Structure 1
């Protein structure tokens, strides 16, 4: 059996890269896994139309300088193969990898809530729109409406405008009092205040949300609620994102405690499992700055450099205060739970409408009776929406965690490599 890697990091976003770079000077063997083609995560996603910040390109370059850091891009975790052993798969092979210590940096995904017409071609998530544009999808000349909650709306709008789109409306569901209070406190974080100024748009509206996406074969218009007024806006694309949800499924499968949709960690970024740490947005949504410092702390602690890690606590506390204010200001309006009508699809993979779910008391009951969550996404979209709509506890991920080749599953009988 090949010797297990000293430190395995799952996720190569800001937290994962920071953790690897913090641990690398110790000389231990480090493996970083990510399902994207290049490191950077969703926030620093690459592509033909992507413009990466300097910090992202510098961190990528630093990763390449360390011979003890081995990056496996386009790689996913398929199953747990035993204590401190994971079954992995990339485009070419499957294999079992053993590890001594593990840092989860699995990031977050968009919260998508169902509303009439949300399955029409032309409707995506707000972050999904950004990803499409960065990957080369042309939007020049298109009329785009962006709706939901949080700063991601402004970032998506900026990406769309840079690539020639006309952003006709940015609809923020939070009210004026909450957003104004948040904005007035940004002087404590000057770079965030600068970002807010540069991303400001005349198309921005508060106390506004989507009621319905309109169209026959594809999106043609959006019906919006803005304050007490209802209006229809013609558009070619609609991007909706109702904040982010931490990716906790792998952590939960390993046995980490999950509370309030986030992996629970202590001041050392340690989970309840010995030799298992977590950092970044899988421990709670807070932005790239918080993810970077949490990743750095986790990497240092994993190699026994606790005193150096402690020195970063004040910085983490500073960005945690920002995250707390952000999450409080953009708390979702309960009215968003009532957007779906009886025939609105909640599970898009299996075509399960709201009416078929509403009478069930739990996710398991709904899944057993309706096939909800049994499609390609394995409930990652609909189960998360159901948690918001009905208060159901999300399901625990079961192997295989994603579609895998039979040859990969056969590796469970082989020794770790």
Structure 2
């Protein structure tokens, strides 16, 4: 999947950000996984990365310090600024025929929020090495979103994309999402186990362990060898314009999309260096085929003396460009995975994550990429979900209470 899409360019979107919008990375299923450039403090009042408040728990988190779970918005979207290197992503569904009601879901989410608060502070004896920059993001799928507010699920539910019809039902959608991230590679799985022990009545539908390379800031190299993370919403205004929900009971939440892909890295590796760059639209060092430095604008109008586009018509950069869909910038990032196959060498894969204020923001870009993005030929979807990342919580406002009551 990919680039930014939405109802229109955010007020703060500069030409550079829009033209670089799909620039460098592998798009999980066609889109690059760029991470947000905005950040927030413990109360989720965003600042830019260059003006991080050193007194804020979230501001200090880029060096591995704790990230406050409480606040106006949940951690894990715009804080910490640099996403932790390791992620355990879990999708759960209701078990059996007895569906949970609003009161049941409200109690489950409130208890989950209390546990997350304890785990992300330094006072939990089950984490003797301290939590580091642990974040636990909680979301609900379309059915629970409709349970909270009729029609809200329509802002969450994914349409079918290229390859979606081949997925088993358990690999599309779900009721509860946990995204547990930390720099300590042992921590996410341990925390997931602790959380699942207190979630009766739910079963795991699918899970994925994923990682990000060290990189520089938000920019990392993806499994195909190209840089990922060059362009993101740069400030609070851009995040407000296209990422955070600004109306109703879901205010200060956001819509998450996660798609998992197996990559045909061997086929991509067989391409020559110039052809690989043509598939992406940039070279491995990030420089655009239209010329300039790694962070230069991608000039979609630039042509050779023979009238051919320097950035090919079927390149990922062009296919995912927000100018074709009237898009606001989504906050995006991707994680590398390894796909094991019996009797065969492991294959590379990608877990792509994006955050936007409506699932249609994502869908329009992905559907365009399904039609024209050559990079999609090297990516096969294996699981996907759209979900509502719940608004933040506080001692007097339990997790999920604005939607389900307390």
Q: TM-score range by the shorter chain?
A: under 0.3
Q: Which has the higher helix share?
A: 1
Higher-Rg member (1/2): 1
Q: Which has the higher contact order (CA 8 A, sep 6+)?
A: 2
TM-score (norm 1): 0.22
